[in-house]
């Protein structure tokens, strides 16, 4: 079995996965949404202190499995430095104490492998990754052979939901709040600009749309001046515009990529409105859409464990003395690989 740890942002999570059967034997996650909601976003220092309490609490429950462990896996990039370090410190200690190998896991590769939890990989695959930190389309040929085909030039999809929710006074995380509110809204009431609509660039951009939402909130008299219906209509229009942007750029890639299997992963892939739209697009192009179960869309240690099974088989181990977080600068230049 492999014990995996995830602490790249505001979820403390540990999983135990059986290597041969790929079965998730244990999985627990403690989220910090309530604590960060007041601030409208994640406060790194607070997040790291909450991990320091939650991770040992979860670890206690995994003690019966210690004798079966063959490796420890941990997210080491990308993410918030101070929260990654909480998971890394625990992973190093376990690796040294139990004298078993340590596997560093790239968080985004974990999101991709969330598709294969308790399953065999479906490869090659085109993946739309929409999370709180990233928006990318990635071609995955096989294990460790991945290429980014499109990426966001500024904000990510999840982040834009969070920021728009904050501007509308809704709380954090904004994704589920906006999705729920949009169901009562008129998605045609406000005309918001579809990002990069007239650009040949195969890339994403969400910051202009965010600004358009800010201007619309102001035009409606600010949060205090907005009725519940105004909020629902704006949420629906924003969500529709994100959808149009994702579809427009994906179409360009689908038109030239012969790969038949497509997937959406990451926290924002839990959005059923976006999922349905993507499913229809795949259908039009004769492609098959794969998604992870809803419980494994947002950050979790089971996806880290699933990737770690492949890494274990390929002996991608690291010395506990040298494992560190990857600096933010390098994270951005490398993004995925």
| Positions that interact with ligand KG4 (CB under 6 A) | 9, 131-133, 158-159, 161-162, 173-176, 179, 266-268, 270-271, 298-299
* Minimum CB distance to ligand KG4 smaller for 87 or for 101: 87
Least separation, in Å, of the C-beta of 286 and ligand KG4?
27
Say if strands 125-130 and 135-142 run parallel, antiparallel, or are unpaired: antiparallel
Query: Which residues lie below 8 Å from residue 300, measured CB to CB, with a gap of 6+?
Result: 6, 11, 13, 15, 27, 29, 114
Angle at 41 between CA 38 and CA 47, to 5 degrees: 90
Cα separation, 246 vs 135, whole angstroms: 9
Q: Cβ 218 to ligand KG4, closest distance in Å?
A: 23
Which of ligand KG4, Zn ion, none has residue 161 at its interface (CB below 5 to 8 Å by kind)?
Answer: ligand KG4
**Interaction partner, residue 78 (Zn ion, ligand KG4, none; CB < 5-8 Å by kind):** none
Quick one: 114 or 205, whose CB is closer to Zn ion?
114
User: 151 phi and psi, to 5 degrees?
Assistant: -145, 165
Q: Two tokens at 82?
A: 């101070």
Binding mask 291-310 for Zn ion (x = CB under 5 A): --------x-----------
Q: Which is nearer to ligand KG4, 6 or 310 (CB)?
A: 6
In terms of CB distance, is 17 or 271 closer to ligand KG4?
271
131 binds Zn ion (CB under 5 A): yes
| Residue 300 CB, nearest approach to ligand KG4 (Å) | 8
Binding to Zn ion by CB under 5 A, coded x per residue (else -) over 74-113, reads ----------------------------------------
Rounded least distance, CB 266 to Zn ion, Å: 6
Q: How far is CA 203 from CA 242, 281, 287, 332, 334, in A?
A: 13, 18, 21, 15, 16
Q: Which does 268 bind (CB under 5 to 8 A by kind): ligand KG4, Zn ion, none?
A: ligand KG4
Residues 6+ apart with CB under 8 A from 69: 1, 2, 3, 16, 94, 98, 100
φ/ψ of residue 51, rounded to 5: -60, -40
**Helix runs in 11-167, H state only:** 33-37, 44-61, 81-98, 107-113, 157-167
251: how many CB neighbours lie within 10 A of its CB?
12
Minimum CB distance to ligand KG4, residue 324 (Å): 20
Question: Which residue, 13 or 62, is less far from ligand KG4 as judged by CB?
Answer: 13
Burial of 200 (0-12, 13-18, 19+ CB in 10 A): exposed
Binding site for Zn ion (CB under 5 A): 131, 299
């Amino acid at each position: 079995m492999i014990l995996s740890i995830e602490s790249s942002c505001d979820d403390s999570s540990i999983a135990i996965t059986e290597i041969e059967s790929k079965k998730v034997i244990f999985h627990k996650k403690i989220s910090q949404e309530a604590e960060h909601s007041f601030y409208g976003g994640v406060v790194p220092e607070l997040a790291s202190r909450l991990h320091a309490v939650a991770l040992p609490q979860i670890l206690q429950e995994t003690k019966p499995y210690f004798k079966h462990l063959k490796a420890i896996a941990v997210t080491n990039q990308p993410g918030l430095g101070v929260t990654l370090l909480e998971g890394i410190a625990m992973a190093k200690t376990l690796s040294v104490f139990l004298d078993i190998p340590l596997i560093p896991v790239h968080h985004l590769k974990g999101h991709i492998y969330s598709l294969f939890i308790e399953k065999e990989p479906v490869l090659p695959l085109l993946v739309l990754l929409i999370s709180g930190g990233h928006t990318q389309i990635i071609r995955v040929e096989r294990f460790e052979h991945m290429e980014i085909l499109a990426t966001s030039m500024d904000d990510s999809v999840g982040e834009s939901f969070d920021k728009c929710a904050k501007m509308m006074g809704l709380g954090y995380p904004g994704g589920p709040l906006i999705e729920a509110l949009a169901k009562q809204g008129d998605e045609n009431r406000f005309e918001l600009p579809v990002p990069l609509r007239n650009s040949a660039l195969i890339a994403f951009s969400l910051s202009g749309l965010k600004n358009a939402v800010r201007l619309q909130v102001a035009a409606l008299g600010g949060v205090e001046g907005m009725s519940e219906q105004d909020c629902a209509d704006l949420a629906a229009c924003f969500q529709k515009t994100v959808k149009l942007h994702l579809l427009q750029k994906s179409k360009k890639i689908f038109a030239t990529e012969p790969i038949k299997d497509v997937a959406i992963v990451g926290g924002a892939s839990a959005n059923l409105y976006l999922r349905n739209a993507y499913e229809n697009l795949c259908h039009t192009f004769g492609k098959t859409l794969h998604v992870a179960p809803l419980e494994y869309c947002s950050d979790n240690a089971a996806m880290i464990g699933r990737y770690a099974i492949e890494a274990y088989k390929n002996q991608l181990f690291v010395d506990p003395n040298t494992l560190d977080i990857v600096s933010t600068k390098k994270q951005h230049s490398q993004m995925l690989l």
